[in-house]
Chains A and B, each alone.
Chain A
Amino acid sequence: DGGITQSPKYLFRKEGQNVTLSCEQNLNHDAMYWYRQDPGQGLRLIYYSQIVNDFQKGDIAEGYSVSREKKESFPLTVTSAQKNPTAFYLCASSPSRASTEAFFGQGTRLTVV
């Protein structure tokens, strides 16, 4: 089945550790996105990529890093520099056309203790 997969669904880490969240899509989409969502809030854009080997910072990129070495994969690393990393993280993909829909993964809930 075609779709976008985030793993794991739940992730626990100790403070000060880097952690990488996985996002894979088999929809042949050029564009991929990472969002952060805090309780009761909307989605905030962390990073986005319109094409392989290229990505741009979103509104809250500090403390995060990404790579886009393959079209189907866009992993997000939450570094120890991110002061409040506990949140719900969502990945999305879309053809690079504003006239088409974006598809979202089911999210990874990260808890840092």
Chain B
Amino acid sequence: DAKTTQPNSMESNEEEPVHLPCNHSTISGTDYIHWYRQLPSQGPEYVIHGLTSNVNNRMASLAIAEDRKSSTLILHRATLRDAAVYYCILRRANRDDKIIFGKGTRLHILP
């Protein structure tokens, strides 16, 4: 299973952009890069995903390196509600799609 590596924790000031990095050096050509976030005592919620090109949605942007060995989740203007654990995971486009989570990055937002 391809693995991802993220920093344990990060801090950011409210109303500033946040860049959350993820390394996935063993990614295969059929792996999609997904991001989820989890608030305390809740189930994870989907944030964004991509394959090769950068992606934008109402929640965030995903920047994928040209060699696909790393990616960055960008929150354009952090709010206190963005404080959560962010998980970067790889999903393989075949039947053995296990959805394996790493430890994630705990994001602290400073008011």
Binding site for B on A (CB under 8 A): 31, 33, 35, 41-45, 48, 50, 56, 58-59, 88, 90, 92, 94, 96-99, 101-107, 109
Residues B30 and A98 in contact, CB atoms below 8 Å apart: yes
Residues A99 and B32 in contact, CB atoms below 8 Å apart: yes
Q: A99-B32, A101-B34 are in contact. Are A50 and B46 (CB under 8 A)?
A: no
Q: Identify the closest chain B residue to A48 (Cβ).
A: B98
Q: A43-B101, A48-B98 are in contact. Are A98 and B42 (CB under 8 A)?
A: no
Chain B interface residue bracket vs A? 20 to 34
Encode contact with A along B25-37: 1 for CB under 8 Å, 0 otherwise. 0000011101010
Tell me the minimal C-beta distance from A25 to chain B in angstroms: 12
B58 within 8 A of A: no
The main secondary structure of chain B at its interface with chain A is loop
Residues A102 and B95 in contact, CB atoms below 8 Å apart: no
Tell me the minimal C-beta distance from B62 to chain A in angstroms: 13
Residues B43 and A90 in contact, CB atoms below 8 Å apart: yes
Q: Identify the closest chain B residue to A59 (Cβ).
A: B100
Q: Identify the closest chain A residue to B47 (Cβ).
A: A101
Tell me the minimal C-beta distance from B105 to chain A in angstroms: 11
Residues B46 and A101 in contact, CB atoms below 8 Å apart: yes
CA distance A50 to B98 in the complex (A): 9
